[in-house]
Amino acid sequence: MNKKYYIKTFGCQMNVYDSQRIANILEGLGYGQASTPRAADLIIFNTCHIREKAAEKVFSDLGRINLIKQERAAEGLDTIIGVVGCVVQAEDEEIAKRAPFVDFATGPLTYHRIPEILAKVSRRRGISIIDTDFPAVAKFDYLPENKASGGCSYLAVQEGCNNFCTYCVVPYTRGAEYSRPVGKVVEEARRLVETGSLEINLLGQNVNSYHGEDENGKERNLAYLLRRLAEIDGLKRIRYTTSYPADVDDDLIACHRDLDKLMPYLHLPIQSGSDRILKAMNRRHSLADYLKIVDKLKQANPAIGMSSDFIVGFPGETDQDFAATLDVVRKIEYIQAFSFKYSRRPGTPAAVMPMQVEEKVKKERLDILQDLLFSYQLKFNKQSVGKIMPVLFETKGRHSGQLIGRTPYMQNLHAELGKENLNKIVNIKVTEATTNSLSGKAA
Ligand code: 5AD
Ligand code: SF4
């Protein structure tokens, strides 16, 4: 019988992409997908280290997976447990100590070695293999071809980060910035479209600092890449995430004016509205720089909706600094946002800064910020009522006859529609709106 795998993904969209690529590898080795971990011969956790909570969740869930491994062993079934991703890069020794039942662990830049690792694991049972070297080669060159698993696909074009924001682990876990060559990206995008993707979301920790080489060895920016991808017949929608404000250039802004396929939604994290805090965070932009970029984007495409990440309670953040963050939210009227309490990450400069903010204050500030963010999100969603929007349906809803999709603005939309509309773009008249989703009918 065929062996089965189960992958559990924690964290960001890059991890979702990596899990898809790991699935490609495993399917190439003859593994089939299991619908539950209990049914899997190989269980892989793709982990996130960005905040303490995310990393702790990995360890508690691993404990549960060990119970499954023991239950299966009692039935004479072998289970291999692998951990991949950013927790491995940052805490390999912790994994060996706290989860000794893990058979192998490999970092986010080394998962292309899973076939070799699996061969070793099955020869030497009981011995954990940990592999976290930052390779000199790009893993992408060693991965099997990607293919669409639905109408909407992720495509990693850039990985790693050289920015070293003082709170962030990414430069340590994902390493130095690397851009994939233009030709390879276009090739992967074509293949995704040929196998059913209508929408591609280009990924990178700093996707707009993309500087991959084209077919003639010339370095190209993200704007060039977007224009090349927009030429692909059959590709209907393009997005890119996550961007760094200081790296938004005029070329990129022009794409928001010129390219119909580029969705009118941009996730551009500001983190804080206070220049003092932005400086302490080592961000290379001020509040004024950020506002100017948003202005230019709105001139290029007045329909654009903005999204952001925010951190509250960064060391030294005063009530006044926090008020500046609320001000920027009122000014931009974000249509969606992610907001977090600052989490102290060992090894980052901010972890040892004086004037750490009390947990209680962080929580109060997060509640206030989220109330404000949700009010604008609701306002925007309510304004969508009565409009006709093209929606790409990606999943089935909870009850039969219902599908869930995304509008150009990344809003979730529920509609009563037959499943023949899955992975298609359908014009929908929006009838209702809440903070988190829309409902509508075929127009
Ligand atoms: N604490 C809280 N939030 C963080 N982020 C990154 N590092 C931390 C941290 N130490 C947030 C930032 C980033 C998003 C992906 O996660 O807002 O944009
Ligand atoms: Fe982390 Fe800053 Fe790099 Fe984003 S830009 S990945 S927040 S270091």
CA 362–ligand 1 middle distance (angstroms): 14
CA 243–ligand 2 middle distance (angstroms): 10
Query: Taking the model in full, what pTM does it have?
Result: 0.95
End-to-end CA distance of the chain: 47
Ligand 2 proximity of 20 Cβ (cutoff 6 Å): no
- Based on the number of CB atoms within 10 Å of its own CB, is 228 exposed (0-12), middle (13-18) or buried (19 or more)? middle
| Cβ contacts of 245 within 8 Å, gap of 6 or more | 268, 269, 270, 283, 285, 289, 290, 293
Ligand 1 proximity of 389 Cβ (cutoff 6 Å): no
Residues 271-306: tens digit of each pLDDT: 999 999 999 999 999 999 999 999 999 999 999 999
> For the packed helices 86-98 and 52-74, what is the interaxial angle rounded to 10 degrees?
50
Strand, coil or helix: 191 = helix
Number of H helices and number of E strands within the chain?
12, 19
CA 237–ligand 1 middle distance (angstroms): 28
Confidence of residue 398 (pLDDT cuts 50, 70, 90): confident
pLDDT at 135: 72
Contact 174, 205 (CB under 8 A): yes
Q: Pocket of ligand 1, candidates 16, 51, 173, 339: which has the most ligand atoms within 8 Å of its Cβ, to mutate?
A: 51
What are the C-alpha distances in Å from 149 to residues 13, 23, 168? 15, 11, 31
Contact 82, 131 (CB under 8 A): no
Mean per-residue pLDDT of the chain: 95
Ligand 2 proximity of 169 Cβ (cutoff 6 Å): no
Q: How far apart are CA 164 and CA 176, in angstroms?
A: 10
pLDDT at 423: 96
| Pairing of the two strands 265-267 and 305-312 | parallel
Two structure tokens written together for 162:
């050289």
Residues 208-247: tens digit of each pLDDT: 999 999 999 999 999 999 999 999 999 999 999 999 999 9
| Pairing of the two strands 32-33 and 4-9 | parallel
Q: How far apart are CA 388 and CA 406, in angstroms?
A: 13
Strand, coil or helix: 407 = coil
Two structure tokens written together for 41:
């011969």
Cα angle 102, 107, 112 (rounded to 5 degrees) comes to 100
Q: How far apart are CA 266 and CA 304, in angstroms?
A: 7
CA 186–ligand 2 middle distance (angstroms): 26
Express as a percent the part of the chain with pLDDT over 90. Answer: 91
Confidence of residue 2 (pLDDT cuts 50, 70, 90): confident
Contact 284, 246 (CB under 8 A): yes
Ligand nearest to the backbone CA of 268? 1
pLDDT at 128: 72
Q: Which atom of ligand 2 is nearest to the CA of 164?
A: 8
Domains of the chain by range and CATH? 4-131 (3.40.50.12160), 145-263 (3.30.750.210), 265-286+296-383 (3.30.750.200), 388-442 (2.40.50.140)
pLDDT at 126: 60
Residue 358 has pLDDT above 80, yes or no: yes
pLDDT at 1: 63
CA 312–ligand 1 middle distance (angstroms): 10
Ligand 2 proximity of 164 Cβ (cutoff 6 Å): yes
